[in-house]
């Protein structure tokens, strides 16, 4: 046990180093492996004529940064949702939030095919995740016992199936199924510097909200009654936390589509490593999420070399067994 | 025990349900790209002065599709009621068991590797796809069973969660393969995955019928047990019910029926979720009544939605699963709201 915690703190303290090495690996390896010197030149003596330099600046670098950011965003969203709902299964993908985003983006692609600037995508995607969250939470309050882990997972699944069903219907009606499917399943390689640049300010807002609210989420995670008894305005806390989730998940989907399991797995690992205080969980989950998704992204290029594997498939490779393990350990009833 | 008014109400609801279904069948038989009058349909069915073009439309296109819609709807409706009873969870749905996802993944595997290599219209060529689906559904079910089984017991909550987990695993497999497909195959695969009955034919009907004929009566026969399962686990045991055994039998029946349905019609979601809720509002919670009515409601839902899916959006056909979810989910939310008041 102590050794595990040791590894944990090593991972956290060493995280800047790990992230930089992931960044470098992610830039160096791919369909075309680039030597270190080319990357160096591309970064500091950029030559627009050189194809390799173009690859580094316009494809590899944004992709690597994007993977780290998305991992952090999703993991933080998951951590907030788990703390807020006291539900160990809460996460953007299981709760139908990502499906909401994808739904809004599909609508945008179908009805406004010409408007696909990064900004609009991100806004639509956020509106979509808001819809997803709203539907899931309002259903959960309607159903007796709706907030229990199992029922919330089921409600999330129903909402997700519904939203993605409607998206699929629209897409197949307008005969752009595969485009849409590519859009939200395999987008890592389409990351552009503009997209990342637009996403970063939103991400910072979301992360600041998340960190600011984390202390209150810790109290909330002890239970609604305790939180109220301690004089906390639970509704306000929930609204702010949900806002952070909507922003962070919205950007992630707009950047890279639906990526399952990061928001589920990482917060659990984090809680195991740093304890139950969300002031520590939120930042640590962000760091670990970034590392996890960065690694998955590098891995996704090698699983089926030279083709890329959708990153959602890579995260599922880790996520499904972990999910099964959680169920085995926790069963259906208990709270976080 | 046998409440007289309950029985009358049951009969009444059953009658109305069947009449409505018949009406839906009539509308789907006569309307479409090629409109026919009632007289023509009846004449064709009774073989009076058969006209080859009418024969073709009725026997090759419309009738198999309607029959499959009815069978699938009935099967899913009954299974939905059984699953909700077993799990003691009104939100459970056959799709949640992850079987659909397993069958779906198997079909995608089939389309990816063998689509081009099996040719002709022989029995095997037609049946290869549903058989793959069946195998996929059963293996998903086996996996789910394996993980949910804990110390000789089958915990309903754990079963639901394992179903979700396995479902997303198979979803990832489908995703991986489907993105490597040719656009046309992909279009077919999505249509199939979202639930559709457009390639109906008599062979499929023959293939799925035995499952329904054998398994549905078993479920009906065991229906009274589902009432008991609503009690505490220990009370059920003290009534002398071998809970684990009965649960397993019922669950295996569900798995069989769902796999059979999914293998011919893809993932038609929400029928199994909504039909039992409508039914319980109509005839109460006694499963002896709920199962048949839920089946009829499922039948009505699928036949009507299939008609909508093939006519309203002409010339494009929407997958029937999507039509059902667009109609069904808002209604389901309305039901939940009313139930709460």
pLDDT at position B129 over 60: yes
Q: What's the gap in Å between the CA of A13 and the closest CA on chain B?
A: 33
Cβ–Cβ gap A320/B333 under 8 Å: no
Q: State residue A20's pLDDT score.
A: 87
Indicate the domain borders of chain A.
2-330
B91 in contact with chain A, both atoms CB, cutoff 8 A: yes
Stretch B285-299: mean pLDDT, rounded? 90
Stretch B222-248: mean pLDDT, rounded? 82
Confidence class of residue B121 from pLDDT cuts 50, 70 and 90?
low
In the three-class reduction of DSSP (H, G, I as helix; E, B as strand; rest coil), residue B252 is classed as helix
A chain contacts of residue B180, beta-carbon cutoff 8 Å: 307
Q: What's the gap in Å between the CA of A36 and the closest CA on chain B?
A: 32
Query: What confidence tens digit (pLDDT) does each residue in B42-70 have?
Result: 777 777 777 777 777 777 778 888 899 99
Q: What are φ and ψ of residue A250, in 5° steps? A: -55, -50
pLDDT at position B4 over 90: no
B chain contacts of residue A158, beta-carbon cutoff 8 Å: 91, 93, 273, 329
pLDDT at position B38 over 90: no
Cβ–Cβ gap B186/A178 under 8 Å: yes
Query: What confidence tens digit (pLDDT) does each residue in A96-109 have?
Result: 888 888 888 888 88
Q: State residue A285's pLDDT score.
A: 92
Q: Which of A175, A309, A332 sits opposite B155 (nearest CB)?
A: A332
Is residue B220 packed enough to be buried (19+ CB in 10 Å), middle (13-18) or exposed (0-12)?
middle
pLDDT at position B1 over 50: no
Q: How far apart are CA B245 and CA B176, in angstroms?
A: 38
B341 in contact with chain A, both atoms CB, cutoff 8 A: no
pLDDT at position B143 over 60: yes
Q: What's the gap in Å between the CA of A195 and the closest CA on chain B?
A: 23
Structure token pair of residue A307: 């083709």
3-state secondary structure B107-169: HHHHHHHHCCCCCCCCHHHHHHHHHHHHHHHHHHHHHHHHHHEECCEECHHHHHHHHHHHHHH
Cβ–Cβ gap B160/A142 under 8 Å: no
Query: ipTM of the assembly?
Result: 0.77
Q: State residue B5's pLDDT score.
A: 65
Query: What confidence tens digit (pLDDT) does each residue in B87-101 have?
Result: 887 777 777 777 778
Q: What's the gap in Å between the CA of B340 and the closest CA on chain A?
A: 7
Is A69 or B338 the better-scoring residue by pLDDT? A69
Mean pLDDT by 10 residues, chain A (336 residues): 67 84 84 80 80 82 90 93 84 82 85 74 86 86 76 83 81 75 72 84 92 90 85 87 90 84 88 86 92 90 77 86 81 49
Confidence class of residue B115 from pLDDT cuts 50, 70 and 90?
low
Q: What are φ and ψ of residue B34, in 5° steps? A: -130, 100
Q: Which of B169, B187, B270 sits opposite A316 (nearest CB)?
A: B169
B126 in contact with chain A, both atoms CB, cutoff 8 A: no
B chain contacts of residue A310, beta-carbon cutoff 8 Å: 175-176, 179
Q: State residue A70's pLDDT score.
A: 92
Q: Of all residues in chain B, what percent carry a pLDDT higher than 90? A: 10
Q: Which of B150, B162, B326 sits opposite A324 (nearest CB)?
A: B162
How many beta-carbon contacts under 8 Å exist across A and B? 142
Q: How far apart are CA B31 and CA B37, in angstroms?
A: 9
Q: How far apart are CA A51 and CA A203, in angstroms?
A: 31
Query: What confidence tens digit (pLDDT) does each residue in B174-193 have?
Result: 878 877 777 777 777 777 77
Q: Which of A186, A316, A333 sits opposite B172 (nearest CB)?
A: A316
Q: Which residue of A has its CA nearest to B179?
A: A182
pLDDT at position B273 over 90: no
In a mutational test of the A interface, the residue from B101, B164, B308 whose CB has the highest number of chain A CBs within 10 Å is: B164
B273 in contact with chain A, both atoms CB, cutoff 8 A: yes
Q: State residue B227's pLDDT score.
A: 86
Confidence class of residue B74 from pLDDT cuts 50, 70 and 90?
very high
User: Could you write out the DSSP letters of every residue in B91-110?
Assistant: T--GGGGTHHHHHHHHHHHH
Is B276 or A165 the better-scoring residue by pLDDT? B276
B chain contacts of residue A319, beta-carbon cutoff 8 Å: 168
Mean per-residue pLDDT over chain B, rounded: 81
* Percent of chain B as helix, strand, coil, to the nearest 5: 80, 0, 20
Q: State residue A186's pLDDT score.
A: 62
Residues 163-182 of B with CB under 8 A from A: 164-166, 168-169, 171-173, 175-176, 178-181
3-state secondary structure chain A: CHHHHHHHHHHHHCHHHHHHHHHHHHHHCCCCCCCHHHHHHHHHCCCCCCHHHHHHHHHHHHHHHHHHHHHHHHHHHHHHHHHHHCCCCCCCCCCCHHHHHHHHHHHHHHHCCCCCCHHHHHHHHHHHHHHHHHHHHHHHHHCCCCCCHHHHHHHHHHHHHHHHHHHHHHHHHCCCHHHHHHHHHCCHHHCCHHHHHHHHHHHHHHHHHHHHHHHHHHHHCCCHHHHHHCCCCHHHHHHHHHHHHHHHHHHHHHHHCCCCCHHHHHHHHHHHHHCCCHHHHHHHHHHHHHHHHHHHHHHHCCCECCECCCHHHHHHHHHHHHHHHHHHHHCCCCCC
Q: State residue B3's pLDDT score.
A: 54
B306 in contact with chain A, both atoms CB, cutoff 8 A: no
pLDDT at position B318 over 70: yes
pLDDT at position B154 over 80: no
Stretch B279-297: mean pLDDT, rounded? 89
Residue A305: partners with Cβ closer than 8 Å, 6 or more residues away: none
Q: Which of A94, A171, A333 sits opposite B157 (nearest CB)?
A: A333
Stretch B22-48: mean pLDDT, rounded? 78
CATH architecture of the domain covering B4-340: Orthogonal Bundle (1.10)
Q: State residue A335's pLDDT score.
A: 43
B chain contacts of residue A333, beta-carbon cutoff 8 Å: 157
Q: State residue A16's pLDDT score.
A: 86
Q: What's the gap in Å between the CA of B44 and the closest CA on chain A?
A: 33
Cβ–Cβ gap B316/A155 under 8 Å: no
- The correct answer on CATH 1.10.620.20 for the domain covering A2-330 is no
């Amino acid at each position: 046990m102590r050794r595990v915690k040791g590894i944990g703190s090593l991972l956290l303290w060493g995280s800047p180093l790990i992230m930089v090495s992931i960044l470098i690996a992610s830039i160096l390896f791919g369909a075309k492996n680039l030597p270190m010197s080319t990357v160096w030149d591309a970064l500091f003596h950029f030559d627009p004529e050189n194809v390799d330099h173009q690859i580094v600046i316009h494809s590899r670098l944004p992709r690597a940064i994007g993977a780290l950011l998305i991992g952090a965003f999703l993991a933080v969203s998951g951590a907030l949702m788990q703390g807020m709902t006291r539900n160990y299964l809460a996460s953007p993908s299981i709760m139908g939030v990502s499906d909401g985003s994808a739904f809004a983006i599909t609508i945008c692609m179908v009805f406004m095919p010409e408007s696909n600037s990064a900004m609009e995508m991100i806004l639509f995607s956020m509106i979509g995740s808001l819809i997803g969250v709203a539907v899931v939470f309002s259903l959960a309050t309607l159903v007796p016992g709706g907030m229990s882990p199992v029922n919330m997972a089921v409600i999330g699944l129903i909402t997700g199936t519904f939203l993605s069903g409607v998206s699929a219907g629209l897409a197949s009606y307008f005969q752009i199924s595969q485009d849409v499917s590519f859009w939200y399943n395999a987008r890592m390689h389409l990351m552009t510097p503009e997209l990342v640049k637009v996403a970063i300010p939103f991400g910072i807002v979301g992360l600041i909200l998340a960190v600011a609210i984390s202390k209150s989420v810790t109290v909330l995670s002890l239970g609604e009654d305790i939180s109220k008894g301690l004089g906390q305005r639970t509704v306000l806390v929930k609204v702010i936390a949900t806002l952070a989730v909507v922003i962070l998940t919205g950007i992630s989907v707009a950047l890279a589509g639906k990526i399952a399991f990061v928001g589920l797995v990482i917060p659990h690992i984090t809680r195991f490593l740093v304890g139950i205080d969300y002031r520590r969980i939120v930042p640590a989950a962000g760091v670990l999420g970034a590392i996890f998704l960065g690694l998955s992204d590098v891995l996704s290029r090698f699983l089926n070399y030279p083709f890329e594997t959708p990153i959602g498939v890579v995260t599922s490779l880790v996520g499904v067994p972990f999910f099964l393990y959680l169920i085995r350990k926790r069963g259906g009833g208990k709270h976080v | 025990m046998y409440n007289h008014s309950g029985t009358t109400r049951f009969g009444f609801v059953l009658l109305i349900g069947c009449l409505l279904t018949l009406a839906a069948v009539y509308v789907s038989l006569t309307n479409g790209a090629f409109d026919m009058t009632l007289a023509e349909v009846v004449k064709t069915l009774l073989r009076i002065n058969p006209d080859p073009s009418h024969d073709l439309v009725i026997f090759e296109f419309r009738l198999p599709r309607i029959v499959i819609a009815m069978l699938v709807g009935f099967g899913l409706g009954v299974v939905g009621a059984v699953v909700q009873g077993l799990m003691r969870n009104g939100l459970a749905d056959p799709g949640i068991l992850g079987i659909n996802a397993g069958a779906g993944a198997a079909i995608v595997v089939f389309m990816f590797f063998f689509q081009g290599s099996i040719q002709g219209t022989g029995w095997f060529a037609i049946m290869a796809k549903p058989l793959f689906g069946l195998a996929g559904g059963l293996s998903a079910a086996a996996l789910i069973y394996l993980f949910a089984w804990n110390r000789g017991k089958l915990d309903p909550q754990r079963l639901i969660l394992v179903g979700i987990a396995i479902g997303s695993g198979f979803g990832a497999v489908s995703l991986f393969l489907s993105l490597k497909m040719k656009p046309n195959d992909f279009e077919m695969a999505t249509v199939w995955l979202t639930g559709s009955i457009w390639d109906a034919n008599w062979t499929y009907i023959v293939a799925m019928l035995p499952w329904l004929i054998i398994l549905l009566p078993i479920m009906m026969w065991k229906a009274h047990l589902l009432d008991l399962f609503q009690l505490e686990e220990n009370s059920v045991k003290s009534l002398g019910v071998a809970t684990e055994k009965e649960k397993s039998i019922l669950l295996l029946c569900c798995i069989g029926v769902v796999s059979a349905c999914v293998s011919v019609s893809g993932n038609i979601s929400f029928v199994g979720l909504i039909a039992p809720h409508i039914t319980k509002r109509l005839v109460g919670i006694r499963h002896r009544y709920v199962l048949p009515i839920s089946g009829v409601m499922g039948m009505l839902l699928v036949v009507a939605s299939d008609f909508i899916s093939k006519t309203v959006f002409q010339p494009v056909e929407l997958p029937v699963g999507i039509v059902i979810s667009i109609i069904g989910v808002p209604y389901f939310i309305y039901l939940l709201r009313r139930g709460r008041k």
